[in-house]
Copies of this chain bind each other. A is one copy, B any other.
Amino acid sequence: MAVHGPAMTDVARLAGVSHQTVSRVLNGHPNVREQTRLRVRAAIAELGYRPNGAARALVTGRSQVIGVVAQNTTLYGPASLLAALEQTAAEEGFAVSVGSVRNLDHRSISAAVERHLSHRVAGIVVIAPVESAGEALERLPKDVPLVTVDGDPSRPVPLVTVDQVAGARAATQHLLDAGHRTVWHVSGPTDWFDSVGRIDGWRQALLAAGLDPPPPMPGDWSAASGYRCGQMLARMPEVTAVFTANDHLALGVLRALHEFGRRVPHEISVVGFDDVPEAAYFIPPLTTVRPDFDAVARASLQMLLSQIESGIGGALRQTIAPALVARESVAPPRH
């Protein structure tokens, strides 16, 4: 099937030049007479010629493709990141090949990376938000341009990440500033670095205020688990402020509080994380923390490209600061 299009030699023949000249025109080589360049371009247009990326990849050793390894691209965070990555890559003339992975264990990650390498991708971005991914990454070949996103801050791998700690600190501080005596936390799964960072930031803010952090309640990012935690929180009269590790957890909490007749923000204030587009339409509108996924995508791609162009660039690190978005789910506590 798929009748193969014309090749470079066909263009060359039509333009009355050698295929090498066509190649030069295509790659913007300087030493080509303007008139020749024009003739070649005309021939390219006339034949509808399209360069063969596979052949180019074969001879140059790499293609204009960036491999992404990601686990669950349905969650809001990863999905946004992926979309941003695609956009940014497209602007730089790169395609993005996604290697979806069921688990972020060593085997799965290695396999996904291998698949990418066998296609000679120019570089690899691994969205590696859990511990098991960290281990896998250290065992990967060192000679491949690779950037980790949302990964382990403690490993010597190029990493771009949202400053979870700062975001969580801001969220918690915002609640303390409103006058709350303490802040409870519904966390994400504790094998996610995002979760750990957010727990950390929450704890830091409380400790800095001389408060003793209550035990965090473990969730799994889902509204369902937020709902379960919310049912417990609703029954605890001393609770006046809750920081949840993401907006979906917050939704579940809001729902549970609503069922128990505890009014938000009058009785209990809630702050989320992610600023999903719907957060402004929760009941009540959710105060949350907005990570800049575009910035993360830009930073990681830039890091990757600099590795690609100039050899391995060592263990760089870039942190993107998130911003607090204040809405109506926070109020001073009643006395």
Contact = CB atoms under 8 A, between A and B. Distances in A.
Interface of A: 1-4, 50-55, 57-58, 61-63, 65, 72-74, 79-80, 82-83, 86-87, 90, 95-102, 114-120, 143-145, 222-224, 226-227, 248, 251-252, 254-255, 258, 277-278, 280-283, 285, 307-308, 311-312
A258 B72 CA distance: 33
Most buried by B among A57, A86, A95, A277: A95
B280 A224 contact: yes
A25 to B, nearest CB: 16
A86 B74 contact: no
Nearest to A93: B115
- How many copies the complex holds: the figure is 2
Given A120-B54, A251-B281, A95 B87 contact: no
A251 B283 CA distance: 9
A223 B79 contact: no
A216 to B, nearest CB: 20
Contacts of A2: 61-62, 143-145
Given A54-B54, A145-B1, A281-B223, A95 B95 contact: no
Contact of A118 (B3, B51, B102, B251): B51
A90 B79 contact: no
B277 A255 contact: no
A308 B2 CA distance: 9
A277 B98 contact: no
A254 B251 CA distance: 14
Nearest to A89: B100
21 contacts: A1-B145, A1-B311, A2-B143, A2-B144, A50-B114, A51-B118, A54-B119, A57-B57, A73-B82, A83-B100, A86-B98, A86-B99, A87-B100, A95-B97, A97-B98, A223-B280, A224-B280, A248-B278, A251-B281, A254-B283, A255-B282
